[in-house]
Amino acid sequence: MTVRGIHAGSFRKEGLGLNLFTEDDLYDIHLATLDVLWNVGVKVESEEAVEYFDGGGCQVDKKTHIVKIPAWLIEDALRSIPKTFRACGRNPENDWLNEGNRTGFVNFGEAVTMIDPYSYELRKPKKKDVDDVTRFCEAMDSVIVFERALGPSEVDPDVAQVHIAESFFNNCTKHAYIGMNRPENMRAVAKMAYLVCGGEDKFRERPIFSQSTDPVSPLVHSKSSTDTLIQAIRCGVPAKINPMGLAGGTTCVHLAGTLVTHNAEVLSMFVLAQLVKKGHPMVYGSSTAMMDLRTTLACVGSPELALFSAAVAKIAQFYLIPSWVAGG
């Protein structure tokens, strides 16, 4: 059985909707993004990623690592990305179909502190906490896909994602988003997944986890993020591009300007992914938030974040690409 959520933002007698844009508004945002990617470009720190962009038809400055992407290449990448994404679970009963404007909910991702469930003290999570929370999310019907929930504090940060993946494989049968931070970690976790699925071919048919890759706002793709994305694609792992801009801090204080740079970061990574392997499944993500100008903290629960996430979801629908956005 494949789980489907209710429709959102549509003229139906069910679901919820917040329609922020007309089709002309969305097209204007798209055109502004094309302008940024061609006239400003993005900085790409990885030599391997630069070579992919160069070979694909981009204008590349190999001294500054600034990559300028033509509109035709962006639109070709958008056309080649699958329009639906089946988030396969180890248990097929937990498959989730991400398509159109259907909605579902996941847990919050990788908290670095937690409230102890027994003493109620605020503390750093341990590996056992990661296991416990993973099992908790497995039991919750409302959590349709598992997002890595906690980061184990007692392990080496360089391999923490491998420990999180191990916990997922041992305790959850839903699909998962896991953010690998190094290509070698991606290879290691992919090999673990191949064993869990009964072989590499079985995993490639039904990948049970996806990579979450974060650009560095504004308009920078780090070596670790691009190299890990390339490795994920080679391993058959679907990917979500998940900018974490901060309006008023690392991006424009105006939400419209932040939306354009956010879109540029996502689309440039989409281009890279499709240059590595045309047709590779991708998800349009967002954890972009607003900065409190008095404290410099991220306002994750603000009304503006809800508006921005709704806007991102609408942009993804405009491109006919599955989306994943922050809920606050």
**How many residues would you count in the chain?**
328
In this prediction, residue 20 carries a pLDDT of: 84
* 249 vs 223: CA distance, rounded Å: 22
Instruction: Give the pLDDT confidence score for residue 10 in this predicted structure.
Output: 55
Question: How does pLDDT run across 3-43, given as a tens digit for each residue?
Answer: 767 667 655 545 556 778 999 999 999 999 999 999 999 99
Q: Which residue ranges form the domains of the chain, and what is each CATH number? A: 2-12+29-325 (3.20.20.480)
Alpha carbon separation from 64 to 43, 67, 74, 86 (Å, rounded): 8, 9, 22, 38
What is the DSSP pairing of strand 209-213 with strand 239-241? parallel
- Cα–Cα distance, 39 to 57 (Å, whole number): 15
Dist CA 288 CA 242 (whole Å): 8
What residues of the chain score a pLDDT lower than 70?
A: 1, 4, 6-7, 9-17, 328
Q: What is the pTM of this model?
A: 0.93
Residues 207, 90: Cα–Cα separation, whole Å: 9
How many other β-carbons are positioned within 10 Å of the β-carbon of residue 110?
Answer: 18
Q: What is the DSSP letter of 93?
A: G
**pLDDT for 64:** 98
**What does the pLDDT read at residue 110?**
87
Question: Tokens in use for 7?
Answer: 């429709």
Contacts of 218 (CB under 8 A, 6+ apart): 245, 250, 251, 261, 265
DSSP 16: B
| 157 burial type by CB count under 10 A (0-12 exposed, 13-18 middle, 19+ buried) | exposed
CB 161 within 8 A of CB 178: yes
Of the candidates 303, 177, 178, 285, the residue with the CA atom closest to the CA atom of residue 247: 303
What is the predicted pLDDT for the residue at 12? Answer: 55
pLDDT the model gives residue 91: 96
Question: pLDDT tens digits for 115-155?
Answer: 999 999 999 999 999 999 999 999 999 999 999 999 999 99
